[in-house]
Amino acid sequence: MADPQPAQVLPLPAKTVPRWCGVLLLVLGMLTLPWIAGLAVVLPSSARSAHYDVSWAGFDLLLCVMLLRTGWSALRRREQSELTAAMAGTLLIVDAWFDVLSAPDTAQFLVALAMAVFVELPLAALCLWLSGRVDAARRRREAQLAAALWRRVGGRGRFSRRRSAQADV
């Protein structure tokens, strides 16, 4: 028995996700690298928890990976960008939430709030929008493929032979 061939990744149609979305996400993902390095240096080692600095730097590293992967996938019009965009959007919302709620004083609260309102939440909205666009395009393509397959098989299936034999009687 022959081994089945692995499924091929088909690119999405060119108009599904604008090219600038992929470029923007790649740039933002790259810009988070110095931010993560700064967090690892600036954050206190403990704030009612051990390794507070490592936990936030690790979280932001995961966010960075999701932004980079989403940007890369979007530039190549891959369906995987749907999942990674949804993950990045979710992580951005979680990041905004905890940044605002864990701010220790008024000044840091205002900075966290400004970052949430002007950076993290709009970027999360962009990621979730991108995810929805890719999902919609995938569903349209699946419907088109199913319709094409149905048309191709329509006159040749065993049920159509039975119907044509009954019609001849």
Average pLDDT over residues 14-37: 85
Does this model's pTM top 0.85? My answer is: no
Per-residue 3-state assignment (H helix, E strand, C coil) for the chain: CCCCCCCCCCCCCCCCCCHHHHHHHHHHHHHHHHHHHHHHHHCCCECCCECHHHHHHHHHHHHHHHHHHHHHHHHCCCCHHHHHHHHHHHHHHHHHHHHHHCCCCHHHHHHHHHHHHHHHHHHHHHHHHHHHHHHHHHHHHHHHHHHHHHHHHCCCCHHHHHHHHHHHC
pLDDT exceeds cutoff 70 at 65: yes
pLDDT exceeds cutoff 80 at 45: no
Most confident region among 42-56, 61-75, 144-158 by mean pLDDT: 61-75
More confident residue, 154 or 60: 60
Residue 14 is predicted with a pLDDT of 57
Question: How does pLDDT run across 106-119, given as a tens digit for each residue?
Answer: 999 999 999 999 99
pLDDT exceeds cutoff 70 at 156: no
More confident residue, 154 or 112: 112
Question: How does pLDDT run across 83-106, given as a tens digit for each residue?
Answer: 999 999 999 999 999 999 888 889
